[in-house]
């Protein structure tokens, strides 16, 4: 590129600062101290960032919820993008601090910004940061304070003025200042900043003894305060491993002893299946086990020749490795075999993947993709035996996450167009082409894949929630309609009534009852009041022979008319039709009070209310309870075990195989609603229909436990039975 000449390497940029006038006035020996310290600090920072990715991934892996997990994944991405800028900024601030020694004024001493609470920072966050820095500084001063005091005294002697420890460019306070200021543009939460400070203490401040010792030694060699007694060397403590560091951040450590114990137990079970990777050797030729590094080279060679999906079933890893070892033995003239421990790993991984390929829970098309991961997973297991004992191992989790995401994938989705299939294919292809011996790629791929699946899961959950709300609303509406139908049947069925009243109750008042049932329920006072109004209306238009009925009707009519008007207004019933009905109702009440038989039939025809008149035969049939099956029925017990989120496969002979997830159980109607992987509704079944489908084998539930764990447990069960048989 034309602008390449403008790119300045970090070591040149820092070295060029020495040519500026403020630094030029520093004694040469101080420049040497600065350059020597800069080399060590640069190395320590690189080690910090090399390990930060794994640490943040472990924290995300052990996060208690999706929110915390996303925080750590976003921090990993941000840190990767800004790592170089932070390293460069740190060293620039370091050089500026040395340059500032020439203008250092002891009378104008101010605290470094690291120990000052900034107004723009949330107070609680600033306090946490300040406490963390002060704690780290205190530990360094307690451990290496004597050496730092000597170094500050020598700096003061060379500058000709008293230098304060806090303003020594190599003091822990200033080192923390450089780090925080260089990383101030990191868009991460305070919990991530505190973790980065822990890492800074672990990889940078932990080496202050060497930093101060070398600086003092340089100054002492040039005769600066030679009378000062050198600091006593402290006992060298090996740095804790990454799991122990995670334990300091409130996560359980993984003990190496436990890993070895688990693998030793596995080897005992695998003893009876050894010898499956045995190359063809000359008779009597001594066998020389190849080391792990050579085995990884052979596996990397095979990894480049993993067959295409169509030929995947014919690929036998152990046979291919056996042939490769035979060729190596022939070429070298020495019989080469795989070491016992490595052979046990090869056999175990091969059996696990055989089990995965027979798993009915995975779609066949995605089985072929997952099968191509056998060599990468084998290489990880050879490198790291905790692969078998730690369920949170990144490579193991990646395999499980792929399998979980693939649970609902159907071949009919179309591999070329489906984003999930394409993403899994990209993961597999990248591992086959890039993974050699650095397992960090699994952490990176897992973080990216989780981000992809979580985004899909959020969209799916939103659709499923909308579906549940709609289905529950529809179920409530159906139940309300049935309840209204029952109320109308009880009040009208079998009676001979004016056609006007029957039409009004069926077309208008039924809507009032439906709205009341939906809003208040069929046990509410409002419901009972509206039902009573309907019953009073029906009674008011019927002929009664007793003498008190007329008085009762006269007392009833005003309240009845008010209740009818209030109910109709709540449903926004047609005002013109309302007026017509009340006119007709007034005439009916007059005839009832007059007890006149003339023209009754001509003015207001009477009809006998039957189910056909009410048009409720379908609703009545729907309202009848479905026949219950025996509680010990096998199909019914399988239905009872289903929970929202369970995956099932419908595989009827006359239908296409369909993978779907139970999204809702509608208690009101007994309906089970199923969706596809995208959250779209695909079918619904009643409890009884679903039980019948389970009984005849037309549907089966999928096992959604972790794929690798399930396969490993199955293989171990087979090995235990084999050993008992021996």
Mean pLDDT calculated for residue range 397-409: 88
pLDDT at 34 over 60: yes
Q: How far apart are CA 244 and CA 55, in angstroms?
A: 11
- Nearest CA to 648 among 637, 633, 663? 663
Question: What is the pLDDT at residue 314?
Answer: 59
- Nearest CA to 313 among 374, 230, 235? 374
Mean pLDDT calculated for residue range 104-113: 57
The 3-state DSSP class for residue 408 equals coil
Q: How far apart are CA 280 and CA 42, in angstroms?
A: 52
Q: In Å, how far are 40, 151, 455 from 147, measured between CA atoms?
A: 17, 6, 53
Mean of the per-residue pLDDT values of the chain: 79
Percent of the chain having pLDDT more than 70?
A: 80
Mean pLDDT calculated for residue range 603-616: 72
Residue 416 banded pLDDT, cuts 50, 70, 90: low
Question: What is the pLDDT at residue 91?
Answer: 93
Residue 574 banded pLDDT, cuts 50, 70, 90: confident
Contact between residue 660 and residue 650 where contact means Cβ atoms under 8 Å apart? yes
pLDDT digits (tens, 9 = 90+) for 43-54: 899 889 888 888
Question: What is the pLDDT at residue 279?
Answer: 60
At 212, list the tokens.
């101060």
Tell me the whole-structure pTM to 2 decimals. 0.55
What residues contact residue 126 under an 8 Å CB cut-off, 6+ apart?
117, 118
The 3-state DSSP class for residue 645 equals coil
All domains in the chain, ordered by first residue: 8-248 (no CATH), 256-438 (no CATH), 471-623 (no CATH), 625-701 (2.30.30.140)
CA 187 from centroid of its chain's CA atoms: 21
240 or 197, which is more confident: 197
Helices (H), 435-524: 440-492, 499-504, 510-520
Question: What is the pLDDT at residue 528?
Answer: 92
pLDDT at 4 over 70: no
Long-range CB contacts for residues 455-458, cutoff 8 Å, separation at least 24: 456/405, 456/419, 456/420
Mean pLDDT calculated for residue range 7-20: 43
Residue 604 banded pLDDT, cuts 50, 70, 90: low
Question: What is the pLDDT at residue 577?
Answer: 84
């Amino acid at each position: 590129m034309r602008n390449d000449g403008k790119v300045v390497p970090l070591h040149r940029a820092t070295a060029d600062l020495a040519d500026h006038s403020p630094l030029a006035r520093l004694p040469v020996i101080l420049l040497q101290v600065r350059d020597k310290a800069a080399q060590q600090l640069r190395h320590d920072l690189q080690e910090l960032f090399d390990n930060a990715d794994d640490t943040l991934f472990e924290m995300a892996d052990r996060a208690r919820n999706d929110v915390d997990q996303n925080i750590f994944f976003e921090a990993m991405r941000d840190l990767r993008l800004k790592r170089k800028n932070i390293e460069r900024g740190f060293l620039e601030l370091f050089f500026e601090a040395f340059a500032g020694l020439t203008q250092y004024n002891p009378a104008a001493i101010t605290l470094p910004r690291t120990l000052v609470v900034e107004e723009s920072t949330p107070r609680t966050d600033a306090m946490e940061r300040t406490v963390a820095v002060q704690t780290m500084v205190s530990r360094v001063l307690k451990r290496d304070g004597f050496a730092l005091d000597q170094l500050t005294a020598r700096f003061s002697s060379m500058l000709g003025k008293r230098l304060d420890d806090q303003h020594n460019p190599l003091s822990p306070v200033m080192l923390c200042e450089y780090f925080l200021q260089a990383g101030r543009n990191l868009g991460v939460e305070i919990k991530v900043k505190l973790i980065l400070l822990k890492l800074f203490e672990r990889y940078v401040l932990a080496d202050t003894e060497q930093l101060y010792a070398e600086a003092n030694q340089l100054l002492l060699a040039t005769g600066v305060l030679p009378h000062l007694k050198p600091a006593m060397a402290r006992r060298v403590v090996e740095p804790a491993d990454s799991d122990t560091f995670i334990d300091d951040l409130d996560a359980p450590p993984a003990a190496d002893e436990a890993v070895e114990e688990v693998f030793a137990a596995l080897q005992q079970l695998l003893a009876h299946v050894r010898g499956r990777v045995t190359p063809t050797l000359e008779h009597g030729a001594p066998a020389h086990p190849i080391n792990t590094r050579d085995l990884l080279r052979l596996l990397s060679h095979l990894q480049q020749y993993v067959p295409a999906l169509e030929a995947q079933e014919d690929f036998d890893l152990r046979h291919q490795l056996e042939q490769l070892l035979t060729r190596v033995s022939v070429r070298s003239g020495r019989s080469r075999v795989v070491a016992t421990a490595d052979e046990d790993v090869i056999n175990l991984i091969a059996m696990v993947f055989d089990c995965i390929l027979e798993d009915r829970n995975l779609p066949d098309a995605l089985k072929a993709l997952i099968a191509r991961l056998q060599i990468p997973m084998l290489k990880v297991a050879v490198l790291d035996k905790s692969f078998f004992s730690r369920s949170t191992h990144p490579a193991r989790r990646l395999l499980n996450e792929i399998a979980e995401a693939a649970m609902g994938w159907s071949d009919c989705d179309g591999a070329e167009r489906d984003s999930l299939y394409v993403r899994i294919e990209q993961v597999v292809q990248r591992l086959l082409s890039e993974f050699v011996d650095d397992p960090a790629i699994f952490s990176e791929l897992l973080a990216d894949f989780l981000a992809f699946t979580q985004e899909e899961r959020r969209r799916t959950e939103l659709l499923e929630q909308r579906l549940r709300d709609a289905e529950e609303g529809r179920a409530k509406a159906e139940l309300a309609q049935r309840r209204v139908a029952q109320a109308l049947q009880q009040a009208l069925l079998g009676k001979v009534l004016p056609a006007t009243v029957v039409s009004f109750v069926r077309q208008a008042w039924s809507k009032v009852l439906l709205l009341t049932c939906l809003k208040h329920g069929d046990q509410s006072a409002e419901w009972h009041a509206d039902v009573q109004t309907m019953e009073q209306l029906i009674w008011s238009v019927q002929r009664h022979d007793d003498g008190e009925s007329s008085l009762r009707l006269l007392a009833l009519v005003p309240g009845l008319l008010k209740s009818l008007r209030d109910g109709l207004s709540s449903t926004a019933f047609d005002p013109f039709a309302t007026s017509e009905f009340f006119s007709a109702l007034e005439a009916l009440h007059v005839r009832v009070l007059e007890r006149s038989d003339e023209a009754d039939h001509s003015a207001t025809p009477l009809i006998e209310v039957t189910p056909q008149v009410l048009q409720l035969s379908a609703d009545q049939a729907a309202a009848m309870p479905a026949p219950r099956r025996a509680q010990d029925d096998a199909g019914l017990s399988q239905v009872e075990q289903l929970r929202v989120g369970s995956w099932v496969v419908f595989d009827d002979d006359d239908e296409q195989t369909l993978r779907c997830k139970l999204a809702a159980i509608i208690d009101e109607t007994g309906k089970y609603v199923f969706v596809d992987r995208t959250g779209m509704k695909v079918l619904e079944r009643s409890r009884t229909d679903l039980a019948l489908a389970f009984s005849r084998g037309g549907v089966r539930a999928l096992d959604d436990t972790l794929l690798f764990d399930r396969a490993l447990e199955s293989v171990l069960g087979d090995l235990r039975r084999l050993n008992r048989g021996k």
